[in-house]
Amino acid sequence: MKIAVLGTGMVGTTIATKLIELGHEVTLGSRKADNDKAKAWLEQVDSDRASAATFADAAASAELVFNCTAGAKSLEALRMAGAENLADKILVDLANPLDFSNGTPPTLSVCNETSLGEQIQAAFPEARVVKTLNTISAEVMVEPRELPGEHVVFVSGDDADAKRWVEQTLLRDWLDWPEVVDLGDISTARGTEMYLALWVRMWGALGTPAFNISIVRRG
Amino acid sequence: MKIAVLGTGMVGTTIATKLIELGHEVTLGSRKADNDKAKAWLEQVDSDRASAATFADAAASAELVFNCTAGAKSLEALRMAGAENLADKILVDLANPLDFSNGTPPTLSVCNETSLGEQIQAAFPEARVVKTLNTISAEVMVEPRELPGEHVVFVSGDDADAKRWVEQTLLRDWLDWPEVVDLGDISTARGTEMYLALWVRMWGALGTPAFNISIVRRG
């Protein structure tokens, strides 16, 4: 599949590398086509299925788009990608609206009465936004079986078919996630984004970001 | 031990009943001493170790105080309890600042740049506030072994000795919690309070509040 991964940070390059390993054609999108991190990624993956381009060019040629930009800049990055290049496509939103302006642990730049996921869906109504994979570190996203047990990833979105594709194909078939919970419409992204406030403190207490949660129910 | 449980809702009465079963003397505190829910609780538990009183009288005679009031009214309830009746005592804060004024699922009345736990500690600097047990339903709080596995409860607080007592005596010895994670100072209550935004949506997706999370780490 032709895939655009928008964002050249840890999350974007980790996802992009995994998608290359899975056999896909991946364009890493950034503000400028000659982005240094994108060039470093291209050297690292060393694949003729890997390329780098502007947000707009990456999105235009893709069948599937990942938003891995920093949450505080996601709306601007997606505007640069272009609504016409996102229309009718599944937009997998991994971004969290982390605000480090007050130091660490970060606060959220939006929360409680809205979420970044909802803001993206509202700004790009023709995109099929699915919020997922935003509750774990990059390494856990792409290698969930490195952790033991039935640990969980969540999906939120308004488009039932898009969510089903993300759950079955992206999360279960491609990434081998052991458990996927559909929380409901895109407003439920408030739940997973606000969980970050606990996640960053669990990281502090555990001393590692290589963890996740599993859901325990009556047996 | 002589214990005050402030709040006559589901959480307060469930905790109070459990503490009676464990052999403690429990006074259920409310705005008025002849509160109907408190009277119903007294009839139900039918114990000479159970009593009901105003917030102030309950707190004054107690060695240990639980805040189980509705989060939106906790500061007011604790002011009625009286700073002098909370001073030097461990104040176990179970309340979440849920705001149902916009319907369900609720939003939080405070979050992100502060938390109810921090507001309570700031308003009652001589109380030894420990936030805990606010991430599960009342029935799971008092019977964690009804769920399988090493599921977790968190503690947050500025007073290390108070946290140690809460973890070892209240959570492990009295309530038999399988895992306790100390997140840090009282500001980490932001994490567990904001987790409620995910918790309420997990409840919706799972169809039951009888669940919890366990932490999965590299084996």
- Contacts A113 to B, Cβ<8 Å: 102, 107
The lowest-confidence range among A30-34, A161-165, B144-148 is A30-34
Rounded mean pLDDT of B130-150? 97
Residue A21 domain-assigned? yes
Please provide the average confidence, as pLDDT, over all residues in chain B.
97
| Domain membership flag for residue A191 | yes
C-alpha distance from B148 to closest chain A C-alpha (Å) = 6
In a domain, A27, yes or no: yes
Residue B96, domain extent: 2-206
What average pLDDT does range A51-57 have in this prediction? 98
**What's at B25, amino acid-wise?**
E
**CATH code of residue B36:** 3.40.50.720
The C-alpha of B50 sits at a distance from chain A's nearest C-alpha, in angstroms, of 31
Whole-number pLDDT of residue A102:
86
CA distance to partner chain A, nearest, from residue B59 (Å): 31
* B115 in any annotated domain: yes
Share of chain B above pLDDT 70, in %: 100
pLDDT given for residue A33 in this prediction? 82
CA dist B164 and B161 (Å) reads: 5
Report which DSSP code applies to A195. Answer: H
Q: What is the mean pLDDT of residues B26-44?
A: 96
Q: Nearest CA to B131 among B194, B209, B192, B63?
A: B192
Q: Is the ipTM of this complex over 0.95?
A: yes
CB contact under 8 A, B218 and A210: yes
| Cross-chain CB nearest to B218 (options A146, A183, A191) | A146
Task: Among B112, B183, B199, select the one facing A107 at the smallest CB separation.
Answer: B112
Residue A19 three-state SS: helix
pLDDT attached to residue A58: 98
Q: Angle B74-81/B116-123 helices, nearest 10 degrees? A: 20
- A211 within a domain of the structure (yes/no): no
Report yes or no: A130 and B200 within 8 Å, Cβ to Cβ: no
In a domain, B28, yes or no: yes
Contact B192 A181 (CB under 8 A): no
* Nearest-CA distance A18 → chain B (Å): 20
Task: State both tokens at A155.
Answer: 């999906």
How many domains, in total, are found in chain A?
1
Q: List the single residue in A with minimal CA-CA distance to B188.
A: A201
Return the number of CB contacts < 8 Å for A and B: 130
Residue B219: inside a domain, yes or no? Answer: no
CA A39, CA A16: separation in Å to the nearest integer?
A: 13
Whether A214 is covered by a domain: the verdict is no
Q: How far apart are the two ends of chain B, measured CA to CA in Å?
A: 40
pLDDT, tens digit, 9 for 90 and up, residues B70-88 = 999 999 999 999 999 999 9
Residues 6 or more apart whose Cβ sits within 8 Å of residue A74? A67, A93, A95, A97, A116, A120
Average pLDDT value for residue range A205-211: 97
B120: confidence class by pLDDT, cuts 50, 70, 90? very high
